[in-house]
Amino acid sequence: MGKTLYQKVYDSHIVFQKEGELPTIYIDRHLVHEVTSPQAFSGLEVAGRKLRRPDLTLATMDHDISTKEASIEACSPMAKEQVTTLMANADKFGVTLFGLGHPNQGIVHIVGPQVGFTLPGTTLVCGDSHTATHGAFGALAFGIGTSEVEHVMATQTLKQGRLKTMKIECTGKLQKGVYAKDLILAIIGKLTTAGGTGYCVEFCGEAVRSLSMEGRMTLSNMAIEFGATAGMIAPDETTFEYIRGRLYAPKGEDFDKAVEYWKTLKSDDDAVFDKVVTIDAASLEPQVTWGTNPGQECAVTGTVPSPDDFADPVVKKSCADALAYIDLKPGQKLTDAKVDYVFIGSCTNGRIEDFRAAAEVIKGRKVAPGVTALAVPGSMWVKAQAEKEGLDKIFKEAGFEWRLPGCSMCLAMNDDRAPAGKRVASTSNRNFVGRQGKGSRTHLMSPATAAACALTGHITDVREFLK
Ligand SMILES: CC(C)[C@H](C(=O)O)[C@@H](O)C(=O)O
Ligand code: SF4
């Protein structure tokens, strides 16, 4: 019997296996940020251990830094401590750090691929749940807890059980105005937030093949939002061309050899998945969340559901609770919901193509009165590239704030927060209660849809602007 892509990568990384114990796998790449690394580094120090492979470890700062000023002084006291601790640890343990102001600094899941640290067929971990992002390259990538971070630092290995496999086949091509973000929201809506628990999913089909690497990363990024541990995509020419020439990517003959190997990284025709799901991507409309988890979503043209639409008492209650928090009424048109804040950024949608897509919508237009709109590039490279293309001017002239890279309003851990009772059109990945600020209300959507919301001041079908 053939193997799935996941099984190929997993099996090739087992270094130790004992009857009755979880296998130990080798970890090729370890990404580090300021929030989940301090205890791990101090654990190493207390135990008198060295960092086993500084050359396979890469650090950046993103979660709680200021997006107004690239300075430690602009951070909150807690952020200041985390940031300075990371600087000291990077120094002590010999880790490359893309710190504040560095041309490669940015959100950890944007930086890894951008510098060619993320490669097909590797195992990649980070103390962060959205590590699944890197699966878009055919890497086995998943988030780990702080004690596991320490384990990887000390041994470059991890105990990791075998996952179940799910194939998510996305048929047809996405229509104009419909993006990878809409596809992944629709997938989560269909599977629910627990539908992927215990699985490594593989996204495939024509809609996935025709996505750029950036779109593929948006898909894999949100695999965790339906409970999957990892979300992989088989590498192809699009992947190889994206990697070619990047800072840490293999060069010359080594690159050609790597590509030969990478070409074998796909599920065999006779591989058997534990579960297969099909999504008709061609018929999808732009999607928006209406509730307080990413699976509570529907087409932007839809209406808010009623708790009575659901038979399961748990789902019924979760719908009622979500509507009470988000202040929407059953049967109300989603496009009637007024928007106070717009956030374009995060590791889901903070890449250059995201800013190009949003700029296409807002070019020559103005943000609606009363709306606060933030454009936060995911990395210094994205920012520089956007500025080279004149996108920053388009955003600023429309009335957006053009910020420095960081996680920003994706999570209320830094100074970028939405006040209680305010509604945010957001390109991030989580719409949990209080996620963007205590009492704030989040609607997840694509960058183009968020841009359209900024212009009208309410939830909007972006296709009206793309005619
Ligand atoms: C702070 C960090 C541990 C957290 C995560 O693991 O996902 C954050 O990135 C998030 O998106 O909520
Ligand atoms: S952008 Fe948001 S989801 Fe991504 S790593 Fe930062 S906080 Fe987590």
Show pLDDT as tens, one digit a residue, over the chain (467 residues). 899 999 999 999 999 999 999 999 999 999 999 999 999 999 999 999 999 999 999 999 999 999 999 999 999 999 999 999 999 999 999 999 999 999 999 999 999 999 999 999 999 999 999 999 999 999 999 999 999 999 999 999 999 999 999 999 999 999 999 999 999 999 999 999 999 999 999 999 999 999 999 999 999 999 999 999 999 999 999 999 999 999 999 999 999 999 999 999 999 999 999 999 999 999 999 999 999 999 999 999 999 999 999 999 999 999 999 999 999 999 999 999 999 999 999 999 999 999 999 999 999 999 999 999 999 999 999 999 999 999 999 999 999 999 999 999 999 999 999 999 999 999 999 999 999 999 999 999 999 999 999 999 999 999 999 97
- Tokens in use for 383? 């920012």
Q: Cα(456)–Cα(452) distance, rounded to whole angstroms?
A: 7
Which residues 6+ apart lie within 8 Å of 179 measured at CB?
215, 218, 286, 357, 446, 447, 448
Q: Are 440 and 418 in contact (CB under 8 A)?
A: yes
Is 407 marked within a binding site? yes
Say which CATH class 164-283 falls into. alpha beta
Distances (CA, A) of 8 to 3, 208, 459: 6, 20, 43
DSSP element (H, E) containing 32: strand 29-32
- Tokens in use for 167? 């194939």
E-state strands within 146-188: 157-159, 164-171
b or e along 102-129 (b: 16 or more beta carbons within 10 Å of the residue's beta carbon)?
Answer: eebbbbbbbbbbbbbbbbbbbbbbbbbb
CATH architecture of 8-159: 2-Layer Sandwich (3.30)
Distances (CA, A) of 322 to 137, 295, 330, 464: 35, 12, 11, 28
Distance 7 CA to ligand 2 centre (A): 28
Q: Which residues line ligand 2 (CB under 6 A)?
A: 62-63, 107, 109, 128, 130, 346-347, 407, 410-411, 428-429
Q: Cα(4)–Cα(11) distance, rounded to whole angstroms?
A: 11
Q: Ligand 2: which of 110, 343, 411 to mutate, judged by most atoms within 8 Å of the beta carbon?
A: 411
Distances (CA, A) of 360 to 203, 239, 357: 28, 25, 5
b or e along 49-72 (b: 16 or more beta carbons within 10 Å of the residue's beta carbon)?
Answer: eebbbeebbbbbbbbbbbbeebeb
* pTM more than 0.90: yes
Q: Cα(87)–Cα(205) distance, rounded to whole angstroms?
A: 43
Distance 349 CA to ligand 2 centre (A): 10
- Tokens in use for 35? 């929030």
Distance 454 CA to ligand 2 centre (A): 22
Q: Are 350 and 377 in contact (CB under 8 A)?
A: yes
Question: Do the domains spanning 8-159 and 164-283 agree at the CATH topology level?
Answer: no
Instruction: Tell me the three state secondary structure of residue 451.
Output: helix
Q: Where do the structural domains in the chain lie, given as residue ranges?
A: 8-159, 164-283, 288-465
Q: What is the pLDDT of residue 467?
A: 79
Q: Are 100 and 72 in contact (CB under 8 A)?
A: yes
CA 240 to chain centroid, in Å, comes to 21
Distance 129 CA to ligand 2 centre (A): 8
Q: What is the pLDDT of residue 86?
A: 98
Q: Which residues line ligand 1 (CB under 6 A)?
A: 35-36, 63, 128-130, 143, 411
Task: Residue 24: name the closest of 114, 170, 151 by CA.
Answer: 151
Which residues 6+ apart lie within 8 Å of 272 measured at CB?
1, 2, 4
Q: Whose CA is nearest to atom 6 of ligand 2?
A: 407
Q: Ligand 2: which of 354, 413, 429, 435 to mutate, judged by most atoms within 8 Å of the beta carbon?
A: 429
Q: Ligand 1: which of 35, 83, 111, 128 to mutate, judged by most atoms within 8 Å of the beta carbon?
A: 128
Burial of 202 (0-12, 13-18, 19+ CB in 10 A): buried
Q: Whose CA is nearest to atom 7 of ligand 1?
A: 129
Task: Residue 126: name the closest of 44, 224, 59 by CA.
Answer: 59
Q: Are 143 and 108 in contact (CB under 8 A)?
A: no
Q: Are 459 and 337 in contact (CB under 8 A)?
A: yes
Distance 386 CA to ligand 2 centre (A): 20
Q: What is the pLDDT of residue 42?
A: 97
Q: Cα(139)–Cα(79) distance, rounded to whole angstroms?
A: 31
Domain 288-465 has CATH 2.40.110.10: no
Q: Which residue has the tokens 């109300």?
A: 332
Please state the ipTM of this predicted complex: 0.98
Task: Residue 376: name the closest of 427, 439, 339 by CA.
Answer: 427
